[in-house]
Structures are given as structure tokens and as C-alpha cells.
């Protein structure tokens, strides 16, 4: 099946952008772990999340990309930075950055790598081979119809969970209610 | 190649949708240049209008009536020494103004100056604008933290708390306007009509929905649209850190807030970003509630006569500016010391008059109309920004938070629910 793309809207340099964005994501992930300064880690994480939004765009999912930017990069990470800035960074920089559990870490990495290789080798039989229909022009509308139609129950349950979390946060933050 | 360039001219979509890289580049350059010039004009106008509010003269020395003051300021800032504090985090300090600048200019990709006069029309237009403009808070936080100084840090903390809070109220107001795009039919209450009723987030789509329903969303479900617009109009002032919500840079308390340690070119980048963001959020308000590029009464005052009358507005407004300039020439002191300034002002008026005359030419005035109405509406908001600054005293921080969370947000949610109910019932 060929992906249906609107005439005149052919994507440009797809391979380049895929490797560019994936490389950026991986690199910033490495920086998140290795930077000693937590603010630098948080900034690297923001870069990674933005690159991920670009990858979503390449998957013809502009709505997910927009939500990724507005929620993760613009909302949650700002609160992260907000908290980190108030932490005494000089003390945290003197602390050890890595614990010395090389064996457990190695085993976990090998297990995860094996899983990835397995999926890569067997993936074509595990999952049916299909190319998604890119519905970029009505992506948001389709998501809306799906969320409020077919998946209404799951959506409402998720919103209920969030409501519980919000009330919990208010209860915990306030001494007298 | 030439064929590639000319083929776009016959199409009736935006360059982004047509996939034409050349025209997209041209549009980007035109929008970038236009916004930069608008920022300079706004800079001059703000100082001048504020001065007149306070019965002062404002800039008068550089050029006639200080018209060349923004250029002089730009040269001054470019040649100033660029200071980086000793203990600052150099890289973060360096990149913070760039992030603010990029965030405020990137949103112009989807601003619809006309049905085809936009760089592109994204399916997630309004979401993209809100998301990318919310990234500018990162720049503020980074600038405040990287300066390694107390005032900037406090300014950055205030600013991030303020921007995150008001984004919520802003989002509620925007959602209620987006909800209105899902209604179909004519007139202020003509809705439903057996359609599937999915709305749109695309900026061009939102304006076309207002055309289809024959009403600006400002007047839709009166007074619901009006209240939602009011919430947005308040939240957007807080979002751009302008008076009376300019706590992050409250001069009397924090010297200059998050950009205290910045100087020269980098400081000017902050200013450029701030004014560009002001224009951007104003264009969101114009698109969502004020009918975008449409002239007033496109459905009731129809016919070739009215079309002609309204198409003369762009030229007439420039001629009016030219007349004002010439009145200024006539009122200049006759002393030889002022001769250069008088000649300069007369030349400026002549240029304005010439632009006005060009805008009267039929092929130009047909193409320029929608851009003119969009820009005129945005300019109204720009003047409001100055007016607020001259009128209202600054809020205290707890008052600011109270207004955001306890007043605007509940009203916004209420308007959203009522809009949804009316949309289903009527």
C-alpha cells in the first residue's frame, strides 16, 4: 500500500530528517544522564522531547507533536526547571553521579538490547505489515472523533484519574481545607 | 525553475500547502521583515504615546518627532559592550535570548494574514501557536538562572509561575472559540443543522468558520464569546509580561527582572522577542474572535459599491498618515535650525502619501485588502497594550495569582461548559 499524500505535499529529505532527529534524541538522552549539573540535564531533556515531536510530525501525527510540545516541553519541563533552580546545585554537584552497580546495569542493558534485536528480527511476523494511512489534513478531527466516540470510556476513566491526582495534590499542599 | 516559481501564482493555497519552497522562503522573509519593522514602529509609538499620556514630548531629537530614534537605538545597542557576568553559565546565558527570539518568530508560520497570505496552514494551527509561544518561558527561566544573580532568578521564578498559570486560563478561552468552529449554519444562533460537527484547529479554518456562520466569534452566543475574548485579552497581557502584569521585570523591585545582567545586542534580542510575541498573541485574538482578515460586515454590506468603499480604506489610511505628517511640517518652527527636520518630515509624508496612492491602484488594492484588515485589527491591540501600560498600576504577585486561578480560570471553564451546552441545544 502506498502512503496517500496530498499532491504538492511530498515530504522533503525524509531519511535525512529521520536520522537527524533520532540522533538528536539519542544524543540529548546521553546528555541527560551524564551531565553533572541538573539544569543542563533538564535542558537536554527538553531538546530530546522537541526532537521527538519532530519524529511524530514525520509519522503524520501533527496533533501528537503539538501536544508533545505544549505539554512536555512547555509545561512539565518548565515546572521541572522551576524546582531544580531552587535546589542547591553546588551540593548536588559534589555528590556521586553514578552508583557502582555495574553488574545489574549490564544485565539490564543486555536484556533490553536482546529484546530490541528480537523485535527487529522477528518483527515482521509478530506485527502485521501495514503502512498507516497518513491523514495529516484531518488528523486532529480523526483523533477527536475517536476519543469522544469509540474510546469514550477509556478517555473518561483517564480524565477521572487525573482529577483524582489534582484533588490529591491540593489536599497534600494545603494544610487547612 | 522559472516554471516552478510561476506555477504557484495561479494556485489559491498557501505556499506551505502548495509545497513550493521558493515562495515559502519569500513569505518567511516578508513576514520576518514586516514583523521587525512593526517592532521598530511599535517601539517608537510606545515611547511617543506614553509620553503624550503623561504630558511629555517623548523622543524629539533624532529625526523629526524622534522618527529615527529606533534606528539610533539599534545602532547604539549593536555597538555596546557585550557583558557576560563572571560566574554566569556561559552557554545557557548565550542561548536564552535566542530561544525567546526563535519561539516568538516561529509562531508566525501559521498566522493567517489572508486566505492565501500565510506561510502555511497547519492542521494543528492554534495548538502550534500556543505550544511554541509557551516555549519562550524556557528562555526566560534559562536567562534568569544562568545570570547567577538574585534579581534575575527571582524575576525568572515569578515569570515562569505567571506564564504557566495564565496559559491555563488562556487555553480555556481558546477551546471555547475552537468549540464554536464545530457549529454550522448561519446567524448568531444558527447552529447544529444535522452536521457531524467536528471543528478545526487550523487558523485559516477558524476564520472561514466565522465567515460560514456569518458572525465574529466575539458576538457568537452573546455574551459568551465576549467573555471568552475578555479572558484571552487579559491572559495575553500576562503571558507577554506586559504592564500591568510586568512583575518579572518590575523595575522598582527587581531592577529589570530576568534580563538584568544582559546588555547590548542580547538585551535587544529580548526586546525584539517580547514585541514579536505581543504581535503574535494579538493575531491569535484577531483570528479567533475578530474575524481574521475579513473586513467589517462582509455579509450585510455586500455588493460592488460596498466592496469598492472598503477597498479604499488601505490607501485612505496611508493618506491620512501623510496628512498628519504634513500638518507636522506646517507646525514646525520656522527657525533655520529646524530646516533639515522639516524637510525630512515632508519627505516622510511624501513617502506615506505615495504608498497610499499605490494602494489605490485596483490590482494592488484587491490583493492588499485582507492583509490590511488583519494588520489594522492587530494594530488596535498594540495600541491597547500601550494604553494599559499608561493606565493601570502594577499588580502585586499574590493578586496576580488570585486573578489567574480564582477569577479567570473558573469563568473560562464556565464559559466553555455553557458554550458546549448552547451548541448542543440550539
Chain A stretch 93-132, residues whose beta carbon is closer than 8 A to a beta carbon of chain B: none
- Tell whether the model's pLDDT for residue A8 goes beyond 70: no
Closest CA to B289 of B186, B145, B170: B170
- Alpha carbons B240 and B283: distance in angstroms, whole number: 13
**Three-state secondary structure string covering chain B:** CHHHHHHHHHCCCCHHHHCCHHHHHHHHHHHHHHHHHHHHHHHHHHHHHHHHHCCCCCCCCCCHHHCCHHHHHHHHHHHCCCCCCCCCCHHHHHHHHHHHHHHHHHHHHCCCCCCCCCCCCCCCHHHHHHHHHHCHHHHHHHHHHHCCCHHHHHHHHHHHHHHHHHHHHHHHHHHHHHHHHCCCCCCCCCCCCCCCCCCCCCHHHHHHHHHHCCCCCCCCCCCHHHHHHHHHHHHHHHHCCCCCCCHHHCHHHHCCHHHCCCCHHHHHHHHHHHHHHHHHHHHHHHHHHCCCCCCCCCCCCCCHHHHHHHHCHHHHHHHHHHHHHHHHHHHCCCCHHHHHHHHHHHHHHHHHHHHHHHHHCHHHHHHHHHHHHHHHHHHHHHHHHHHHHHHCCCCCHHHHHHHHHHHHHHHHHHHHHHHHHHHHHC
Backbone angles phi, psi at B83, to 5 degrees: -100, 130
B413 interfaces chain A, CB cutoff of 8 Å = no
Instruction: Tell me the shortest Cα–Cα distance from A27 to chain B, in angstroms.
Output: 17
Q: Which of A71-80, A87-96, B167-176 has the lowest mean pLDDT?
A: A87-96
Mean pLDDT of the A121-148 span: 73
B127·A138 Cβ contact <8 A:
no
User: Which residues of chain A lie closer than 8 angstroms to B18, CB-CB?
Assistant: 8
C-alpha cell of residue B90: 556561559
The predicted structure's pLDDT at residue A137? 65
Cβ neighbours of residue B209 under 8 Å, at least 6 residues apart?
B180, B181, B199, B200
- Claim: this prediction has a pTM higher than 0.80: yes
- pLDDT above 90 covers a percentage of chain A that reads 24
Cell of B111: 498566522
| Contact with chain B for residue A43, Cβ under 8 A | yes
For residue B297, the model assigns a pLDDT of 80
* Chain B residues with beta carbon closer than 8 angstroms to that of A39: 89, 92, 145
Give the residue-averaged pLDDT of B285-298.
86
Q: Is residue A125 part of a domain?
A: no
ipTM comes to 0.79
- Please state the rounded mean pLDDT for residues B138-164: 83
Q: Band of the pLDDT at A6, cuts 50, 70, 90?
A: very low
Spatial CA neighbour of B124 closest among B141, B110, B144, B145: B110
Residues of A in contact with B127 (CB under 8 A): 63, 66-67, 70, 140
Q: Any CB–CB contact under 8 A between B49 and chain A?
A: no
Asked, for residue A20, whether it belongs to a domain, the answer is yes
- Grade residue A164 by pLDDT with cuts at 50, 70 and 90: very high
Residues with Cβ within 8 Å of residue A103, at least 6 apart in sequence: none
Confidence of residue B197 (pLDDT cuts 50, 70, 90): low
Encode B366-396: b = buried (16+ Cβ within 10 Å), e = exposed. Answer: eebbbebbbbebbbebbeebbebbeeeebbe
Closest CA to A31 of A19, A42, A22, A21: A42
CATH number of the domain to which A44 belongs: 1.20.120.1200
Per the prediction, chain B carries an average pLDDT of: 84
pLDDT at B236 over 70: yes
A18-32, B64-78, B133-147, B303-317 — which one is most confidently predicted on average? Answer: A18-32
- Going by pLDDT thresholds of 50, 70 and 90, the confidence category of residue A9 is low
* Number of domains present in the structure of chain A: 2
All three cell numbers of A170, joined, read 491540593
The larger pLDDT score, comparing residue B143 to residue A91, is at: B143
Name the residue of chain B whose CA is nearest to A146's CA. Answer: B198
Average pLDDT of span B162-167: 85
CA gap B263, B265 in Å, rounded = 7
In the stretch 134-163 of chain B, residues with CB closer than 8 A to chain A read: 134-135, 137-138, 141-142, 144-145, 153, 156-157, 160-161, 163
Query: Do residues A144 and A86 both lie within one domain?
Result: no
Q: Which residues of B touch A65 (CB under 8 A)?
A: 124
A80 exposure class (CB count in 10 Å sphere: 0-12, 13-18, 19+): middle
Q: Decide if pLDDT at B391 tops 80.
A: yes
Distance, CA of B233 to CA of B358 (rounded, Å) = 35
Contact B124 A139 (CB under 8 A): yes
User: For A44-86, how does the pLDDT look when each residue is reduced to its tens digit (9 = 90+)?
Assistant: 998 999 999 988 888 878 888 888 888 888 778 888 887 877 7
Q: Which of A9, A66, A138 sits opposite B17 (nearest CB)?
A: A9
Task: Give the whole-angstrom CA distance, residue A138 versus residue A144.
Answer: 10
Q: Residue A157 domain-assigned?
A: yes
> CA of B266: how far to CAs of B74, B147, B259, B262, in Å?
12, 13, 9, 6
Q: Which residue in chain B is spatially nearest to A139 when comparing CA positions? A: B123
In a domain, A151, yes or no: yes
pLDDT value at A43 more than 50: yes
The answer as to whether A74 is a domain residue is yes
Residue B194 has pLDDT above 60, yes or no: no
Average pLDDT score over residue span B387-408: 87
Q: Which of A45, A52, A60, A66 is the best substitution to test chain B (most B C-beta atoms within 10 A)?
A: A66
Q: Which of A90, A124, A151 is the last residue of a domain?
A: A90
Q: Which residue has the cell 509620553?
A: B51
Residue B355: pLDDT over 80: yes
| Residue A133 located in a structural domain | no
Say whether residue B207 is in contact with chain A using an 8 A CB cutoff. Answer: no
Residues B180-208, mean pLDDT to the nearest whole number:
66
Q: C-alpha cell of B156?
A: 525568572
pLDDT of residue A28 exceeding 90, the answer is yes
B164·A85 Cβ contact <8 A: no
Residue partners of B313: CB distance under 8 A and separation at least 6 = B295, B372, B373
Is there a contact between B131 and A39 if contact means CB atoms under 8 Å apart? no
Tens digits of residue pLDDT in B145-154: 888 888 888 8
Are A60 and A136 contacting, i.e. CB atoms less than 8 angstroms apart? yes
According to the model, what pLDDT value does residue A7 have?
A: 45
pLDDT value of position B251? 67
Once rounded to an integer, what is the mean pLDDT over residues B39-58? 90
- Whether the CB of A141 is below 8 Å from some CB of chain B: the reply is yes
The model's pLDDT over B31-42, given as tens digits with 9 standing for 90+, comes to: 999 998 999 889
Q: What is the pLDDT of residue A160?
A: 94
Q: Are residues A145 and A85 part of one domain? A: no
Q: Is residue A161 part of a domain?
A: yes
Domain boundary among A57, A90, A123: A90
Question: In terms of residue numbers, what domain contains A57?
Answer: 12-90
Please say which residue of A90, A124, A152 terminates a domain. Answer: A90
Amino acid at each position: 500500500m502506498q502512503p496517500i499524500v496530498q499532491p504538492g505535499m511530498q515530504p522533503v529529505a525524509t531519511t535525512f530528517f529521520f536520522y537527524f532527529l533520532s540522533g538528536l534524541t539519542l544524543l540529548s538522552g546521553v546528555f541527560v544522564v551524564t551531565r553533572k549539573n541538573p539544569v543542563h540535564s533538564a535542558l537536554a531533556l527538553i531538546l530530546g522531547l522537541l526532537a521527538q515531536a519532530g519524529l511524530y510530525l514525520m509519522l503524520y501525527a501533527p496533533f501528537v507533536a503539538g501536544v508533545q510540545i505544549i505539554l512536555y516541553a512547555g509545561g512539565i519541563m518548565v515546572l521541572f526547571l522551576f524546582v531544580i533552580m531552587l535546589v542547591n546545585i553546588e551540593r548536588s554537584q559534589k555528590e556521586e553521579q553514578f552508583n557502582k552497580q555495574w553488574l545489574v546495569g549490564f544485565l539490564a542493558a543486555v536484556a533490553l538490547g536482546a529484546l530490541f534485536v528480537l523485535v527487529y528480527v522477528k518483527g515482521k511476523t509478530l506485527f502485521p505489515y501495514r503502512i498507516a494511512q497518513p491523514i495529516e489534513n484531518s488528523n486532529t478531527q480523526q483523533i477527536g472523533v475517536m476519543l469522544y466516540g469509540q474510546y469514550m470510556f477509556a478517555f473518561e476513566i483517564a480524565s477521572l484519574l487525573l482529577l483524582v491526582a489534582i484533588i490529591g495534590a491540593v489536599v497534600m499542599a494545603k494544610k487547612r481545607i | 525553475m522559472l516554471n516552478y516559481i510561476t506555477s504557484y501564482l495561479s494556485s489559491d493555497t498557501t505556499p506551505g500547502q502548495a509545497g513550493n519552497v521558493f515562495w515559502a522562503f519569500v513569505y518567511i522573509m516578508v513576514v520576518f521583515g514586516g514583523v521587525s519593522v512593526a517592532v521598530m514602529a511599535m517601539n517608537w509609538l510606545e515611547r511617543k504615546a506614553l509620553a503624550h499620556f503623561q504630558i511629555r514630548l517623548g523622543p524629539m531629537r533624532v529625526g523629526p518627532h524622534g522618527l529615527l530614534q529606533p534606528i539610533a537605538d539599534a545602532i547604539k545597542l549593536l555597538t555596546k559592550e557585550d557583558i557576560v557576568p563572571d560566574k554566569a553559565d556561559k552557554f545557557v546565558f548565550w542561548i536564552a535570548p535566542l530561544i525567546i527570539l526563535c519561539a516568538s518568530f516561529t509562531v508566525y508560520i501559521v498566522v493567517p494574514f489572508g486566505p492565501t497570505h500565510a506561510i502555511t496552514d497547519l492542521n494543528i494551527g492554534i495548538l502550534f501557536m500556543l505550544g511554541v509561544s509557551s516555549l519562550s518561558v524556557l528562555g526566560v527561566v534559562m536567562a534568569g538562572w544562568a545570570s547567577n544573580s538574585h534579581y534575575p532568578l527571582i524575576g525568572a521564578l515569578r515569570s515562569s509561575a505567571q506564564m504557566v498559570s495564565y496559559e491555563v486560563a488562556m487555553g480555556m478561552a481558546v477551546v471555547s472559540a475552537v468549540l464554536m468552529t464545530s457549529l454550522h449554519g448561519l446567524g448568531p444562533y444558527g447552529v447544529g443543522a444535522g452536521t457531524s460537527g467536528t471543528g478545526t484547529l487550523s487558523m485559516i479554518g477558524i476564520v472561514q468558520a466565522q465567515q460560514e456562520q456569518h458572525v465574529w466569534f466575539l458576538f457568537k452566543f452573546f455574551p459568551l464569546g465576549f467573555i471568552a475574548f475578555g479572558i484571552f485579552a487579559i491572559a495575553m497581557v500576562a503571558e507577554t509580561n506586559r504592564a500591568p502584569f510586568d512583575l518579572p521585570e518590575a523595575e522598582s523591585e527587581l531592577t529589570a527582572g530576568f534580563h538584568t545582567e544582559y546588555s547590548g545586542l542580547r538585551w535587544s534580542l529580548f526586546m525584539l522577542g517580547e514585541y514579536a510575541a505581543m504581535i503574535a498573541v494579538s493575531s491569535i485574538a484577531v483570528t479567533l474572535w475578530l474575524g481574521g482578515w475579513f473586513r467589517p460586515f462582509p455579509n450585510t454590506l455586500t455588493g460592488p459599491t460596498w466592496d469598492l468603499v472598503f477597498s479604499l480604506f488601505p490607501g485612505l489610511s496611508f493618506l491620512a498618515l501623510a496628512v498628519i505628517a504634513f500638518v507636522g511640517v506646517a507646525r514646525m518652527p520656522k527657525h533655520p535650525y529646524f530646516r533639515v527636520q522639516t524637510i525630512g518630515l515632508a519627505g516622510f509624508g511624501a513617502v506615506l502619501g505615495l504608498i497610499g496612492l499605490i494602494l489605490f491602484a485596483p490590482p494592488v488594492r484587491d490583493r492588499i485588502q485582507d492583509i490590511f484588515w488583519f494588520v489594522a485589527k492587530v494594530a488596535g491591540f498594540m495600541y491597547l497594550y500601550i494604553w494599559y501600560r499608561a493606565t493601570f498600576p502594577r499588580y502585586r504577585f499574590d493578586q496576580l495569582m488570585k486573578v489567574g486561578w480564582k477569577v479567570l480560570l473558573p469563568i473560562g471553564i464556565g464559559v466553555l461548559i455553557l458554550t458546549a451546552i448552547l451548541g448542543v441545544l440550539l
